[in-house]
Amino acid sequence: MVQTNHTGVLVNRKPYLYSLMLLLVLGLFSLPALAQRKAKAPVVQFSGIVLASDDSTSSLPGVHVYVPKAGRGTITNMLGFFSMPVLVGDSVVISYLGYRKQHFKIPNNVGDAITIVVELSPDTTYLPELTIFPYPTEQLFKQAILAMELPKAEEEDLLERNMNANLLAMMMQDMPMDGSENYKRYSQQQIMDTHNRNFYRTNPFFNPLNWAKFIQSIRRGDYSNKKKE
């Protein structure tokens, strides 16, 4: 096919048409190959439980189990259990703060499901030893020791009263939670919310078993005995 462009020059468009048809044919032949390649990776239900290697009876909640290349994953529940769909050949990463990461590759010929038990080893970082002295020189340290006054008998009695076990137990009961305890409680609540996101939460007020226990306690006179005490 020969045409004339805007400058009046004759242009042969056959080579362009042949190239376009060749690209289309190659694309049509490559589609079945891509589909066949995707079909070779069946879906497998990957489940397991994550434990600590130093204590095999202690499960680890909130462990991240994910496939980096696919961008999908999940976390373990309060019992350390997880379950997620993966493809054969996927490389799964299992990571938890304070423990070493583990990599697991989904093998071939495992059927529709695979279950494993993972033991994570603690990742301990040892820092170099650092000695801190309160005095810059040994002479100043000796002078401070010689000038130090030993505690008197009244101060020893006051120290013993302040360190009384019963008093410390009472202070511990009245003391509110600190930052670390609040964070631990918040993390546990987040894990429980994630684990129970597909479940309907029941109200204990409408539980007939709770009402039965309450009526039995009234018949036994438990509340009246507490008032008399």
User: pTM above 0.85?
Assistant: no
pLDDT in tens, the chain (229 residues): 544 545 554 445 555 566 667 666 566 555 555 545 445 678 999 999 999 888 767 889 999 999 998 889 999 998 899 999 999 989 999 999 889 999 999 998 888 999 999 999 988 888 888 877 777 888 888 888 888 777 677 777 888 888 888 888 888 888 888 888 888 888 888 888 877 776 666 677 777 888 888 888 888 887 775 555 5
Query: d(Cα 75, Cα 195) in Å, to the nearest integer?
Result: 9
The structure tokens listed for 214 are: 């309450």
Ordered by start, the domain boundaries in the chain are 2-39, 43-120
Cβ atoms of 60 and 120 closer than 8 Å: yes
43-120 CATH, one of 2.60.40.1120, 2.60.120.380, 3.90.470.20, 3.40.1280.10: 2.60.40.1120
The structure tokens listed for 43 are: 């879906």
Query: d(Cα 84, Cα 87) in Å, to the nearest integer?
Result: 10
Query: d(Cα 57, Cα 65) in Å, to the nearest integer?
Result: 20
Q: Three-state SS for 148?
A: coil
